[in-house]
Amino acid sequence: MSRVSLLEEKDHPELKDPIAKIRGERGGRLLNIFQMLLHSPSLAMAWLEQVSAVRWKTQLSGQIRELVILRVGIINRVDYIFKAHVPAYTHKEGLSLAQCNAIVVWRSSDLFDAAQCAALEYADAMTLDIQVSDAVFQKLKPHFTERQIVELTVLIATYNMHNRVLEALKIDPTVSHQD
């Protein structure tokens, strides 16, 4: 049971425009997280822009993006991330189911290339340790431009934020009953 009520669209005609924008960018869906965030419409719209930017408006490959999103979800014990992304997004980006399953033990797997390993190690450091060692950071440089490193950093931070908000407020992030 969520700790904050989910706003019902029919009860809030004043939110028609933000809801239309959210639905337009989320494939017609109004996810529970947005029904919760709409308690603060400006935060809901900022969240939408942030998530859209890190998912679709970067120079990161789709494989790197999806691997890192899955890894952050696994570390934070948020099952929803795996369920929402595998296979819907991961398959489209060319990741195998074996790779997705191996993210749990990525360090002992031979299914990831050097760039993917560097990104996964960076996600681990940012999520588990917060402090990123110079050694971990230096592993990114052969594989990513400075722009991509910034985008990767913000992607990892965004999904950590996403997971923490969902968990703190006990929001089931799935599509609500009205969709």
**42-54 pLDDT, tens digit each:** 999 999 999 999 9
How far apart are the C-alpha atoms of 122 and 8, rounded to whole Å?
A: 39
**73-96 pLDDT, tens digit each:** 999 998 888 888 898 899 999 999
Model confidence at 179: pLDDT above 50: no
Contacts of residue 6, defined as CB under 8 A and 6 or more positions apart, other chains included, come to 32, 35, 36, 171, 176
Query: CATH second-level architecture of 62-168?
Result: Up-down Bundle (1.20)
Mean pLDDT of 121-149: 98
Domain boundaries, the chain: 9-56, 62-168
| Count of residues making up the chain | 179
Alpha carbon of residue 98 to chain centroid: 20
pTM over 0.85: yes
Amino acid identity of residue 12, one-letter, is H
CB atoms near residue 113 (< 10 Å): 10
**12-24 pLDDT, tens digit each:** 999 999 999 999 9
